[in-house]
Chain A
Amino acid sequence: MTTKYKVGTEKDYSVRTCAWSAPGCHPTGCGLIMHVKDGKLVEVEGDPDHPVSQGRVCVRCLSLPEVIYHPDRILYPMKRAGKKGENKWERITWDEAYDIIVEKVRYYQENYGLTSIAMMGGTGREATFYFPALSYAVLQTPNNVGVLSGLSCYGPRCAVTEYVLGAGYPEIDYAAYFPDRYDNPEFQLPEYIMIWGKSPLESNADGFFGHAIIDMMKRGTKIIAVDPRVTWLTSRAEYHLQIRPGTDAALALGMLNVIINEDLYDHEFVEKWTFGLDKLAERVQEYPPKKVADICWIKEETLVNAARAFAKAGNSSIQWGVALDMNWNGIQAIQAVLYLMVLTGNIDVPGGNTLAEPSSFMGKWRYETHHQIPEEIYEQRIGNEEFPFFNYGLMACSPDNTLDFFEKQQPYPVKMVWSNSQNPIANAACVPKRWHEAFKKIEFWVSQEIFMTPTVSAYADIVLPVATFAEHEGVVIPHFGRNSAFVGAINQCIERVGECKSDLEICFELGKRLNPKAWPWETVSEFFTEQIKEKTGLTYPELKDKVVQQQKYVYRKYEKGMLRSDGEPGFETLTGLIELKATIFESWGEDPLPYFKEPPFSPYSTPDLYAEYPLVLTTGGRKFTSFHSEHRQIPSLRQITPWPTVEIHPDTASELGIMDGDWVCIENHLGKCRMKALVQPTVHPKVVHALHGWWYPEQDGAEPNLFGTFKSNINMLMPHKKVGNLGLGANYKSNLCKVYKVSGLDD
């Protein structure tokens, strides 16, 4: 019974594993010890031997048993029993479910073409790792789509990095590659970490273990925070640039102006490894610090001092967040922040920003599966005519065009949707009521889920139960292979509850029925061995025993010919250098140099609207207690965060007659929703901050209530298709609104 990762007797034992999903989390892969009694998971605690998490666990994993044994969990495949939206279901077998699905897929493929099916997914979870393959190699549709306007999460940061710098995600160096971590002689503690538009402690985004920031602060690292809110973390920062939401690009250009004009940049690095400094230097003259400070609603002095401190410091890093993507000016904000890393010489050096290949591990496999679709069909992806960048620069579909396609069923019809790892009408979709009407036009809908959600209830014909990470075998790779300090084993800990299956098992089984040539493996174990062997030297059973396998890291790879496919020194870009003028952007209809553009709805771009809606609305700050719209039904977590809140400055609240804890309505020209007021001096008096992803699993799930999904959904106030020139970036974090007191969640 005892293996290297499992100790105990047949029924009472402990398993060492790495976490992922379901339920939702990023591929952070924290190390856990799962205590099982009488076959049931009774307690989760941290694995002290995990090199990164070192025994630490957040409340979401601690409450995993409440997820697994929750009375509302979906345990069996089901088909719709009543009308769509009645939330009535009938249990079926997996075989029946697959039979129905195969018949429908074949019918739509034959009658409407491969493009008539869409694979639709969300963010971060294990399913996201496999849905390109589910789309291309199982359902054989080029339409691997999402709802997030402007694809404004992660994708823009990765795309800009890939084209400007020719590498994967530039994560901050937190010594995660080294077994002895911060004590490793090659590692150097960053003097500053600039945290820009991110809540790393709560989010652990994309596989970065958030509390590593605390580790480094304890050792002496100082923080420069760019955040429209005061948070616990910014209260401990040396500089806090509390900018007006949506002005990130201006701030970064202003900082570049200081660094270039005061000659604070790293000459040696910039002269040898970059291209186009003269053009960038010209451009930043349009952004003098005084002007930028006025745009951003901050003090000129703070901007200048922070820029100087960062540029003059020893090795330092920048951790950027989704706030940069969530901006129609996001590409430029990302580009300018990347240039801050570059001009200060903090790329690929100890304590700076680390780099890896754009895609490694399964990253390669999952995208190469698109060869399962004929090239001419692949090119018919939704939206790539309007936005050529989606055709050449990114392997994705435009989410905004997806809504247009679904609504009009033009220029070609979309008849079937496969939905996983998402709950779009509760979260992510702008104009959720428009999406709701568009989704109702989809004839056949399959959802993979662990709980009934507004989305499943409203549209699904078939629901497939997903296994939690305690119930299946898997691997977890931080940053999805784009900068992965380690590979972790997800070791199955308990017998499955009900008949749930993992995302990969569903791909396998349906893949073997629909497109067997792409699914030659007999077992998931065989598949994982093939995926990890080359990089780690391990088979999957060996990885399971080791639980975590760290990767080696080499600094200054650009000097050693390790970033280019031809083995030459430099970077994998057109010029072989980091492009401070990104020439390639021109061919996609974008300015090659960064610039600032006001958000579509703001005090300056729409003064008339501002007169009516006199507050700037930002959204989406993270909580420890949820992953986007998930975890709302988990008792321990809901107790900690019982209601959605909107943060309001005390002066503003008092003018509006609002007290802390009052129910308020947040409204603008597009829509409204209700939350509780959180009155505290953490936002500018003209700014409010609202939480995202709220719905009420305890309420009636049938139409029209749909678990109250339209009641507290902040995206009711978000515009459709206000995106950047490349089709990327949308202003989820900078809109306008007014706030007034109401009697409750309902009248």
Chain B
Amino acid sequence: MSRNGLLINYGWCTGCHSCEVACRNSHGLPLDQWGIKLTQIGPFKIGEDKTEWNYVPVPTSLCDLCVDRVAEGRKPACVHNCLAQCMEYGPIDELMKKMEEIGEKVNVYLP
């Protein structure tokens, strides 16, 4: 069995911040700490009518992949609440396969 990780299909991440707040709440983190933090790429122009604008959440060293929730058969807090449903949790070999299927703007993290 391979290790578990987080897949973020960030092409669809709308920058809603729900993952950040859900993670902080479920882990009792203070306001100045994040288990996952949103980064923002753009907006900048890449053509007359084209703008590059991506949000890419990045788990930090405080991310424990929600061991407790997962042990109870629940999804990680960030995955569960994500407004764009663009996050998945699972064994990395499966996630890598999905990543290839998705084909663009996608990350798999091993925090």
Binding site for B on A (CB under 8 A): 43-46, 48, 54-59, 62-63, 65, 201-202, 210-211, 214-215, 217-218, 230, 232-235, 240, 302, 624-625, 635-636, 639-640, 680-682
The chain B residue with its CB closest to the CB of A299 is B49
B17, B52, B80, B85 interface centre (most CB from chain A within 10 Å): B17
Smallest CB separation, B36 vs chain A (Å): 13
Binding site for A on B (CB under 8 A): 12, 14-18, 20-22, 24-26, 31, 42-45, 49-53, 55, 77, 80-85
- A211 and B43 within 8 A (CB): no
The chain A residue with its CB closest to the CB of B26 is A43
The chain B residue with its CB closest to the CB of A640 is B17
- A624 and B80 within 8 A (CB): no
Smallest CB separation, B20 vs chain A (Å): 8
A interface secondary structure, majority? mixed
Bound CA–CA A681/B51 (angstroms)? 9
- A230 and B51 within 8 A (CB): yes
The chain B residue with its CB closest to the CB of A681 is B45
Q: What 10 A-B pairs have minimum CB-CB distances, sorted nearest first?
A: A235-B53, A235-B51, A62-B21, A57-B81, A211-B83, A56-B83, A59-B21, A230-B51, A59-B17, A214-B84
The chain A residue with its CB closest to the CB of B44 is A681
- B12 and A232 within 8 A (CB): no
- B43 and A681 within 8 A (CB): yes
Q: Which of A62, A202, A230, A635 contacts B81 (CB 8 A)?
A: A62
With a cutoff of 8 Å between Cβ atoms, the chain A residues found around residue B31 in the complex are 635-636, 639
With a cutoff of 8 Å between Cβ atoms, the chain B residues found around residue A56 in the complex are 18, 81-83, 85
With a cutoff of 8 Å between Cβ atoms, the chain B residues found around residue A302 in the complex are 49
The chain A residue with its CB closest to the CB of B86 is A214
Bound CA–CA A46/B50 (angstroms)? 34
- B81 and A235 within 8 A (CB): no
User: Can you list 30 A-B pairs, Cβ within 8 angstroms, ordered by A?
Assistant: A43-B25, A43-B26, A45-B22, A46-B80, A55-B80, A56-B85, A58-B18, A59-B16, A62-B21, A62-B25, A63-B25, A202-B16, A214-B12, A214-B83, A214-B85, A230-B43, A230-B51, A232-B14, A232-B43, A234-B51, A235-B50, A235-B52, A625-B17, A635-B31, A636-B31, A640-B17, A640-B20, A680-B43, A681-B44, A681-B45
Smallest CB separation, B111 vs chain A (Å): 20
- A636 and B83 within 8 A (CB): no
- B80 and A682 within 8 A (CB): no
Bound CA–CA A739/B49 (angstroms)? 26
Given contacts A56-B18, A57-B22, A210-B83, 5 further A-B contacts (CB under 8 A): A45-B26, A54-B85, A230-B43, A232-B55, A682-B51
With a cutoff of 8 Å between Cβ atoms, the chain B residues found around residue A63 in the complex are 21, 25
Smallest CB separation, B79 vs chain A (Å): 9
Smallest CB separation, B39 vs chain A (Å): 14
B16, B49, B80, B82 interface centre (most CB from chain A within 10 Å): B16
With a cutoff of 8 Å between Cβ atoms, the chain B residues found around residue A62 in the complex are 18, 21-22, 25, 81
- A58 and B83 within 8 A (CB): yes
- A201 and B14 within 8 A (CB): yes
Smallest CB separation, A633 vs chain B (Å): 13
With a cutoff of 8 Å between Cβ atoms, the chain B residues found around residue A57 in the complex are 18, 22, 81, 83
- A218 and B45 within 8 A (CB): no
Bound CA–CA A327/B92 (angstroms)? 52
With a cutoff of 8 Å between Cβ atoms, the chain A residues found around residue B16 in the complex are 58-59, 201-202, 624
Q: Which of A46, A215, A636 contacts B24 (CB 8 A)?
A: A636
The chain B residue with its CB closest to the CB of A201 is B14
With a cutoff of 8 Å between Cβ atoms, the chain B residues found around residue A58 in the complex are 16, 18, 83
With a cutoff of 8 Å between Cβ atoms, the chain B residues found around residue A240 in the complex are 49
With a cutoff of 8 Å between Cβ atoms, the chain A residues found around residue B44 in the complex are 681
The chain B residue with its CB closest to the CB of A62 is B21
- A59 and B18 within 8 A (CB): yes
With a cutoff of 8 Å between Cβ atoms, the chain B residues found around residue A211 in the complex are 14, 83-85
- B51 and A624 within 8 A (CB): no
A44, A57, A63, A202 interface centre (most CB from chain B within 10 Å): A57
Given contacts A235-B53, A681-B45, contact A55 B24 (CB under 8 A): no
Smallest CB separation, B73 vs chain A (Å): 12
- A45 and B14 within 8 A (CB): no
Bound CA–CA A214/B13 (angstroms)? 10
Smallest CB separation, B81 vs chain A (Å): 5
Smallest CB separation, A698 vs chain B (Å): 15
B45, B77, B83 interface centre (most CB from chain A within 10 Å): B83
Given contacts A57-B18, A624-B16, contact A45 B43 (CB under 8 A): no
Smallest CB separation, A470 vs chain B (Å): 15
- A232 and B21 within 8 A (CB): no
Smallest CB separation, A680 vs chain B (Å): 6
Bound CA–CA A62/B78 (angstroms)? 11
Bound CA–CA A217/B83 (angstroms)? 14
The chain B residue with its CB closest to the CB of A57 is B81
Bound CA–CA A56/B82 (angstroms)? 6
Bound CA–CA A640/B20 (angstroms)? 10
The chain B residue with its CB closest to the CB of A63 is B21
